[in-house]
Amino acid sequence: MSQVKIKSALISVFYKDHLEPIVELLKSQGVTIYSTGGTQKFIEEQGAEVVAVEDLTSYPSIFGGRVKTLHPKVFGGILHRRDNDSDQAQASEFDIPAIDLVIVDLYPFEQTVASGASEQDIIEKIDIGGISLIRAAAKNFKDVLVVSSREQYEALEGLLRENGGVTTVEDRKKFAAESFDISSHYDTAIFSYMAEGQSIDRFKVSERQSRKLRYGENPHQEGYFYGPLDDLFDQLHGKEMSYNNLVDIDAAVSLIEEFSEAENAFAILKHTNACGVAIGETVKDAYLRAFAADTVSAFGGVLVCNQTITAEASEELNKLFFEVLIAPGFEEEALEILKVKKNRILLVKKQNLTTKKQFKSLLNGVIEQDRDLVSDASADFSLATRKATSAEQDKALVFASKVAKHTKSNTIVLARDGQLLASGVGQTSRVDALRQAIEKAKNFGFDLNGAVMASDAFFPFPDCVEIAKGEGIEAVIQPGGSIKDQLSIDFCDENDMAMVFTGTRHFKH
């Protein structure tokens, strides 16, 4: 039965908005409508006749509404195969009418959990009848059309209006696939709630929102983003975000959230690594200090600030070619200045990241871990050397550690007075990372005398502190934990350097 004319429909929905035109079309096409409870009342108010499910089954709604549609006359009407003589004979024997269209949505389980409701209220929002009806109708897509969300009302209305209520098997299979998407997402949400605090190690993630990207990491790779991206950002201007843009935006947002809203913090990133980070008296000052760290790599970068972008700052920003600028707001005059470049992506960051887990495909599976949400603070410092750090050095060390945490390993970060001077990133040895940072700092005119050094992991040998001393670096922050820590400590003590341990490693691969 490739084509089916809808003659009967079962409608039972939680959300009734935008249902009116569908009811009107079903009524005009002479479709028999079965319904119950609040949905029945709503349909009758639209002037359509309704056969109550209770009249069909000869059973009332029982157990406080927990059991309404769970009956052979309902499920038999959906599941019996129209091209199967035995099924047809049984349907006739037991007076089971065919149901050609099922419009059912699900109780708002996720919204109820998000509201902070009590466990009892949450449990009552675990849909039983609805999910069963959806699965039954989707399974029997050869005969039945299933609509499982108000998101599909527009498509259903089009089918009813354009085809006079006639559906093809292709139509029905597409709706069925979408229904299993909705039901599997719903079950994943329930599992996540029920498994919280339990020792059930399973990987289940469901994201129903998606956007196709221009391409993946390279033009020959297809790419998608899954998730409610619009909850995080409003895009005010520019081209469509690419895969690489999104990877850099994630890194930029993660870094900028290390800084207090009381600070004017600005960062410039390329390929997820910061090439400039600074705190300034104003947004303009913070940007110029960040830009000074690497005026070459900043070209084509992703920029992020934790303050509203001012017109004054935008005059300077507009001199640079960059891909993306992220901020919590933009002054009107700033927008006018920045919008002169049509492809420049301007994003308003609406909220902080709330995700607590990270995962990615690996080999023939997936690896998952907690996000690194530990930020080093001076209160966490354990002084390793005889010489103590000054209050000014403590601030610089905390700043440097924040940057190192968000830089590819192996990394060394050199900083002073709320400004990244240079970093060595993604090197196969920590010594190479330090040498890269020193060379870069000198290339951009920085004097390293009095600077501080941060490392994402411990020093297995004293070579890094030896090199740092030769460049005038006076204070060091590192996790500690090497069996040869004492070698680095001894060198610092012998050369009037201060070093603190944090006890927390910040590898980033």
Contacts of residue 334, defined as CB under 8 A and 6 or more positions apart, other chains included, come to 309, 310, 311, 313, 314
Q: What mean pLDDT is predicted for residues 358-369?
A: 94
Q: Among residues 271, 339, 341, 387, which one is catalytic?
A: 271
Q: pLDDT category, 1, cuts 50, 70, 90?
A: low
Q: pLDDT category, 47, cuts 50, 70, 90?
A: very high
Q: Is 349 noted as a catalytic residue in this protein?
A: no
Q: Is 271 noted as a catalytic residue in this protein?
A: yes
Asked whether the CA dihedral 380, 384, 386, 387 is positive or negative, the reply is: negative
pLDDT score recorded for residue 357? 92
Give residue 365's identity as a one-letter amino acid code: G
pLDDT score recorded for residue 58? 81
DSSP code of 458? -
pLDDT score recorded for residue 405? 97
pLDDT score recorded for residue 9? 95
The 10s digit of each residue's pLDDT in 415-458 is 999 999 999 999 999 999 999 999 999 999 999 999 999 999 99
pLDDT score recorded for residue 182? 95
Q: Is 0.85 surpassed by the pTM of this model? A: yes
Whether 469 and 490 have beta carbons less than 8 Å apart is answered as no
Of 394, 383, 372, whose CA–CA distance to 456 is shortest? 372
Q: pLDDT category, 163, cuts 50, 70, 90?
A: confident
Collapsed DSSP state (helix, strand, coil) of residue 233: strand
**CA–centroid distance for 485 within its chain:** 39
pLDDT score recorded for residue 51? 93
Quick check: 2 pLDDT over 90? no
Task: Give backbone dihedrals phi and psi of 11, rounded to 5 degrees, phi first.
Answer: -125, 125
Q: Among residues 139, 185, 239, 341, which one is catalytic?
A: 139
Residue 304 has a CB neighbour count (10 Å cut-off) of: 28
Quick check: 403 pLDDT over 90? yes
Of 225, 305, 223, whose CA–CA distance to 264 is shortest? 305
Average pLDDT of the chain is 94
The 10s digit of each residue's pLDDT in 237-261 is 999 999 999 999 999 999 999 999 9
